[in-house]
Structure 1
Amino acid sequence: MNDKLDLQSKDITSLNIEKIATLFPNCVTETAEGKKIDFDLLKQELSTEIVEGNKERYRLEWPGKREAIVTANIPTTKTLRPVREDSVDFDTTENIYIEGDNLEVLKLLQESYLNKIKMIYIDPPYNTGKDFVYKDNFAKDGDEELIESGQKDEYNQRLVANPETSGRYHSDWLSMMYPRLKLARNLLTEDGVIFISIDDNEVHNLRKICDEIFGEGNFVANIIWKKRGGPPNDKILGTIHDYIIAIAKDTSKVKLYKKERSQEQLNRYSNPDNHPKGEWAADNLMANVKGGRFVKSLHFGIKNPQTGEIHYPGVDGNWRYNQGKIEELLKNDEIYFGKDGNGRPKLKRFLAEVSIGVPYPSIWDDVPHNNSASKEIEKLLGNLSYFETPKPSGLINDIIRLGSNSNDIILDFFSGSATTAHAVMQLNAEDGGNRKYIMVQLPEANDEKSEAFKAGYKNICEIGKERIRRAAKKIKESLNQDSQDKKDKQDLSSGDKNPNNQENQANPGSDIDLGFRVYRLDSSNMQDVYYKPQDYNQLQLDLFADNVKEDRTAEDLVTQVMLDWGLPLSLPIERKTILAKEVYAVAGDSLYCCFDDGIDEDFAKAIAQEKPLRIVFRDKGFKDDTAKENVKQLLKQLLGVSENEMKDRMKVI
């Protein structure tokens, strides 16, 4: 309760706007200054003739749209730094977890993952009036830069509240989503698809910006997910569903997969007559039951071989097949005339001949509800009471099955509690797949009064990473138990008690990637002079004899080089020692990095024997300027490449 006096007069303009909004809600719009009246539209509402005004066009507009477009195009100097201590199996895993602002991260991934992500799933803020949205402002001062680089205040100033009373309620949400979706589209494979969870508040606007970014013709479906069971408790109309918008990068190329048949569907198939083709189910033999196009050649009588009765499809109907095909089906006993043999003819649809799965429906009422998601997190981490609307891994599991194959990369840049990572690992465990995930999450600080903070989780990323660790442990234990149960059954059936029997000892979970590499968004590894030399005079430049920041490691530099050169972050990185110098070999001979001092001709000869495709040195690392040029010329000669090729193969930072 606010018990303080306003000590100011009433805002008459706001009161009048509210009155006009009551009569003409379509004339109230959002502007950069808040809610305003569109006077051209108001004039039109009060006139029976067309009022001249701004030229009409079919598109979605909001204050800040142009800035949102520019925001996606502005390059970033940020980088990612590896965090080994938070990672699991860093050297061998292909899964990635990134802490940082997803807009900056998406920009950094543009080269390394261009056209490489098969499926994206995101669960962004729904804009319910209680959500926070990202505040994208690139005119930052030094203090803001520290916040966004993770060096201060755990990013908690990166998110701002967006109440329904805000004059830019929809506009701020749209400005947040637009550049992120624009960048995300670039990462999708040509047959890729993005799934976006949303509710009634912004589903209409989401469709419109997706139509603009992806093209209206690339809309796939608006899936309705029944998110809770039982009677609704809403005051007006019970809302028990959310939406999942599916958009393809290119509908002519998109590849989606079918849903596995349920046991109930499989139970419809049987083989009561011991047909050699196996189990079957009766299916309609008619092409058009009512009305439709009449085809004379498909309109004929089918004779029951047992009773001699002749069946016709009806006046306006057709059989599905021509007479020759029907005779072939009769000969092979593939037409069914009912249990007593006196019914109308139907087709025997054999299970062995139908496709493996069935198309997913647009209404999902057979997947877990959101309350199961809370229980899932509670079972793994305890009652954190942090996530209000987490998604169940069973739901994400179905989305992954629909949108990706067993070797694809799945991206989620609103990772939250890392449900998507959990679902990827679980699905791989179930079908032996090798899907990889990339999770991106802003390390939003947890309230110090929250259960999560009291449990030791300072920010959302700490919750997400711990969930992945515990889910992986649980999955591994389950796989080991399944393996042991299978071994015990084999021992009982064969009497083989030999513990060295390799077939029985095999662990099906041993090949599943349950680790993840952690990277953290930070400011560039390079001193500012590296990007803005014009801002410094010669005396100041002497202070930057080394253009790499003092707190940065060789692994930090390797990561930045990988991003600059467009190499995936999941590639294996091997440490080697060549002539007492530390060398990082990325993906075999794809990239060699050495940032030690004293690089000279002898080292060039030694590293040339490795035949690397690309080599990176530190500018300060050469013995002297002469050595730098000699190393370049020597490598060019030893690797047998031209001057132009050498420019592409050897770089310095």
Structure 2
Amino acid sequence: MDKLKMHSPDLTAANIARIRDLFPGCVTEARGEDGEVKLAVDFDLLRQELSASLVEGPQERYHLDWPGKREALLTANAPIAKTLRPSRDESVDFDTTKNLFIEGDNLDALKLLQETYLGKVKMIYIDPPYNTGNDFIYEDNFAENADEYLRRSNQVDAEGNRMVANTAANGRLHSDWLSMMYSRLRLARNLLADDGVFLASIDDSEASTLKQILDEVFGEQNFIDTITVEMSTTSGPKTVNAQQGTIVKNAEFIHIYRKSEEFDKKPHRPLLDGIDSFDTHYSIWLHEDGSLGSLADVMLSNEAVGAEIRRFDLIERNRFSIKSIDKLIAVSDKAKSFIESNLERIARIDRPPISASGRSTRVGHYETFEADRRTYLLTTLENGALQALMPLSLNYRMSDDYKPRFGRTVIRGDLWKGFHQDMGNVAKEGEIAFSNGKKPVRLIKQLILWANNSENGTIVDFFAGSGTTAHAVMQANAEDGANRRFVVVQIGEKPEPKSDAAKAGFATIADVSKERIRRAGKKIAANLANGSVDTGFRVLKVETSNMADVFYSPDATTQDDLLAAIDNIKPDRTPEDLLFQVMLDWGVDLALPIEKKTIAGKEVFFVDTDALAACFDADGGIDDAFIMALAKTKPLRAVFRDAGFKNDAAKINAEQIFKQLSPGTDVKTL
């Protein structure tokens, strides 16, 4: 019966396997520095296979390089012997939620998620440290090979990877930041589905270098756009600097990359900006008989609307001017209702399609014209020019701006104006004060609505901060009834002593984020008119492996050590701790429902009914009768502790019993 490996994937070994699939002759066996024989790439043969495309030695090439890049790549690929331990007390709706909050180093978290979420994530958004010279970044250890890293990862405590200041005085200011980002971005790309998308906020401190490493990780051909977001105006203290000739900062940026061209094959929601005033070009009324009239005249002749026009004294020389519509709809609900119910009848002049060239209509009338898979309305002006008529219905809807308002909308491009309004209220969002880079919910929500084309996908943020992404996912679901899930990661770093978070009594930034999600979830649920929204989350914490050292290095363990740790499991770990490490190892979704049942006197965990059955009893009582009862439930996977079996014969029989009663079950031990 095979054992579970109980550590994150070795991505270097996976890459070698891919090379072997493409060039079998280029992968051979070789003895490493540690004396072990392993698969290795014969680069001399690989060079021959790729000789026409190789760039070697001192030849000039286009690429981004920095001190530490190679080590960052090695660290990204190296496996770790860590796990995610559940924390029910800090969770909300632990047994039913599909959302995850992971507390710990995001490099470790991304490695641990490789099996479970490989190619399954629809969207990743991050708001990393901007590297302004005042930021904290992760202190990663690059000075070891994969085997040393794996062994160390099972020994250090939670403070082994900590945040350190990356000041402007640091001679490696850019290199350290790039190394930190590079390893994490490579792991993040693995998680994206083929139709997934990656978005990263940044300011001008590292905007250009971030784009270069994103070009390398995702491929330059997968760059979609860089959005410029107006985050402030030139007012207050900035005005003084501007008056002295300084160009003040008003914008931040969001780089967007797709995983592949599959992203473009899905429809994406248009982004709309509201226009405060009524566009008076929309002055034409389309009568049902095909004739054209004046919108202002029709409104005045309408009994209800005409009474409102007279009530508010908007008539001049017995006429109602189209220029007065703004004043009217600002005070009259009846006028608003009239506009909204006649969007197809209100139009303006537009350019006709090229395919309509040579056509003509009666002056003062319109005709329909089918072309380019749509219906055009054509009319001829007094001077004989052919024109098209654009109904107001095409661009008149509720905007998604800061204050959704009644009025015309325009499609937004890559210049996102007006978010400075949100920044004035961002401190209040989620009812948690957090001033260090907190992003507006509306900003992240609009990115989600545009990018998350399935409306039911998983959204990941591995620089969670105050939890805005989780908040935005719940808010978006509440508004459109979708079932998106979030997986957010935040290290338990201590807040600055004088920060809002510290003054509020929060011990870590992770605690800030969890509490913000709790409060936001309660508010969203309370304001929900219909249906329900998943506002819960499972808290999982990055910890050293549940397995004792003897599990990872049995050859270096003495007989006394084996007797002292015969079941290979640390004494402070619970069965549920073991369950989540097994789920990680097998790539089972960490948000699936978990049920405990008693079978033949033994406690058994069932994940999603039959995805996994796990019995972690260590009393040596697992016998044939229990295995037969469990095998009849036909789980896809089953796992046991070695120490749980009555004897070696019972362990051997277990595999045979499953082959007879449930041949499709994958059976393993730990």
After superposition, the Cα gap between the structure-2 partners of 1:602 and 1:280, relative to the gap in structure 1 and judged at 3 Å, is farther
Q: Secondary structure at the match of 1:334?
A: strand
Q: Which residue of 2 aligns with 1:4?
A: none
Secondary structure class of the residue paired with 2:424: helix
Residue 650 (str. 1) matches residue 667 (str. 2): yes
Matches within 5 A, 1:531-610: 531-596=552-617, 597=619, 598-610=621-633
Cα distance, 1:622–1:469 mapped onto 2, change above 3 Å: same
- Tell me the TM-score normalized by structure 2: 0.73
Q: Aligned match of 1:247 in 242, 252, 257?
A: 257
> Structure 1's 278 and 271: CA in aligned 2 closer, same or farther, altered over 3 A?
farther
1:391: how far off?
0.4
Relative to structure 1, the CA distance from residue 532 to residue 369 in structure 2 (aligned partners, 3 Å threshold; closer, same or farther) is: farther
Q: Which residue of 1 is the match for residue 536 of structure 2?
A: 515
**Equivalences for residues 213-612 of structure 1 within 5 A:** 213-231=217-235, 232-233=238-239, 234=241, 236-254=246-264, 255=266, 257-259=268-270, 261=272, 264=275, 272-275=285-288, 278-279=344-345, 281-282=347-348, 284-287=350-353, 299-300=357-358, 302-306=360-364, 334-337=377-380, 344-350=385-391, 360-367=412-419, 369=421, 371-372=423-424, 374-377=426-429, 380-381=431-432, 384=433, 386-405=434-453, 406-479=455-528, 483=529, 508-509=530-531, 511-596=532-617, 597=619, 598-612=621-635
Change (3 A) 1:391 1:616: same
Could you tell me which residue of structure 1 aligns to residue 23 of structure 2? none
- Contact in 2 for aligned 1:95/1:438 (Cα 8 Å): yes
In structure 2, the CA distance between the partners of 1:253 and 1:474, relative to structure 1 (3 Å rule), is: closer
Contact 2:435–2:500 (8 Å) recurs in 1: no
Who is 2:656 aligned against? 633
Aligned residue number for residue 80 of structure 1: 84
Secondary structure of residue in 2 paired with 1:302: coil
**1:115/1:121 Cα in 2 relative to 1: closer, same or farther (>3 Å)?**
same
Residues 307 and 630 of structure 1, relative CA distance in 2, 3 Å threshold = closer
Conserved 8 A contact 2:81-2:151: no
Tell me which residue corresponds to 2:314.
none
Match of 1:205 among 200, 205, 209: 209
**Against the structure 1 CA distance between its residues 275 and 62, is the aligned structure 2 distance closer, same or farther, given a 3 Å change threshold?**
farther
1:335-379 deviation line (CA, Å, top 9, x unaligned) = 2457xx7784332335677899975410000345563354224x7
Name the CA distance, whole Å, in 2 between partners of 1:472 and 1:514: 5
> What displacement does 1:634 show?
1.4
CA distance in 2, matches of 1:77, 1:142: 6
Q: Does 1:128 align with 2:180?
A: no
Verify the 8 A CA contact 1:131 1:162 in the aligned structure 2: yes
Q: Give the AA of the match of 1:257.
A: H
Question: 1:291 aligns to what?
Answer: none
Structure 2: distance between partners of 1:530 and 1:147 = 13
Structure 1 residue 450: deviation in Å? 3.9
| Distance change (3 Å), C-alpha of 1:249 and 1:178 | same
Distance of 1:118 and 1:287 partners within structure 2: 37
Distance (whole Å) between structure 2 residues aligned to residue 388 and residue 324 of structure 1: 56
Q: 1:615 to 1:368 in 2, by over 3 A?
A: farther
Deviation at 1:625, TM superposition (A): 1.0
The answer to whether the Cα contact below 8 Å between 2:98 and 2:534 also exists between their aligned partners in 1 is yes
For residues 391 and 277 of structure 2, what CA distance do their matches in structure 1 show? 11
1:3 aligns with: none
SS at match of 2:606: strand
Q: Which amino acid aligns with 1:251?
A: E
1:520 alignment partner, SS class: strand
Cα gap change, 1:438 to 1:333, in 2 (>3 Å): closer
How far has the Cα of 1:134 moved from its partner? 1.0
| Cα distance in structure 2, aligned partners of 1:180 and 1:589 | 33
- With over 3 angstroms needed to count, the CA separation of the structure-2 counterparts of 1:285 and 1:475, relative to structure 1, is same
In the TM superposition, 1:21-170 aligns within 5 A as 54-137=58-141, 139=144, 149-150=157-158, 158-170=162-174
Q: Distance in 2 between matches of 1:609 and 1:146?
A: 37
Tell me how far 1:55 sits from its aligned partner. Answer: 3.1
- Alignment equivalent of 1:616, drawn from 639, 643, 661: 639
Deviation at 1:105, TM superposition (A): 0.5
Give, in angstroms, the shift of residue 451 of structure 1. Answer: 3.9
> Does the 8 Å CA contact 2:195/2:258 hold for their aligned counterparts?
yes
What is the CA distance between 1:274 and its match in structure 2? 4.3
Structure 1 residues 427 and 333, CA gap change in structure 2 (3 angstroms) = closer
Q: Cα–Cα, structure 1 residues 306 and 461, in superposed 2: closer, same or farther, change >3 Å?
A: closer
Quick check: 2:202–2:253 contact (8 Å CA) kept in 1? yes
* Secondary structure at 1:632 match in 2: helix
Q: Secondary structure at the match of 1:440?
A: strand
Local SS of the residue matching 2:209: helix
In 2, Cα distance between the equivalents of 1:525 and 1:216? 41
SS at match of 2:98: coil
> The residue matched to 1:445 in structure 2 has which SS?
coil
Contact in 1 for aligned 2:285/2:347 (Cα 8 Å): no
Over the residues paired in the alignment, what is the CA RMSD in angstroms?
A: 3.3
Paired residue secondary structure (2:463): coil
SS of 1:80's equivalent in the other structure is strand
**CA positional deviation for 1:220:** 0.3
Deviation string for 1:115-160 (max 9, x for gaps)?
110000000000000011111105599999699643x5xx7x7112
Distance in 1 separating the partners of 2:649 and 2:573: 27
Give how far 1:266 is off: 11
Kindly provide the amino acid, as one letter, of the partner of residue 201 in structure 2.
Answer: S
Q: Which segments of 5 or more consecutive residues in structure 2 lack a partner in the other structure?
A: 1-56, 290-342, 398-408
The Cα offsets for residues 546-567 of structure 1, whole Å up to 9 and x where unpaired, read as: 2011011111111111111111
Secondary structure of 1:242's aligned partner: strand
Structure 1 CA distance, aligned partners of 2:276 and 2:194? 33
The SS at the match of 2:471 is helix
Question: TM-score scaled to structure 1, two decimals?
Answer: 0.75
- 1:474-525 deviation digits (Å, cap 9, x = unpaired): 112222xxx4xxxxxxxxxxxxxxxxxxxxxxxx14x210100000000001
Query: Matched residues in 1 for 2:536 and 2:556: separation?
Result: 44
Distance 2:283 2:629 in 1: 70
Deviation at 1:324, TM superposition (A): 7.9
Identical-residue share of aligned pairs (%): 45
* More deviation, 351-360/63-72: 351-360
| Contact 1:368/1:394 (<8 A) preserved | no
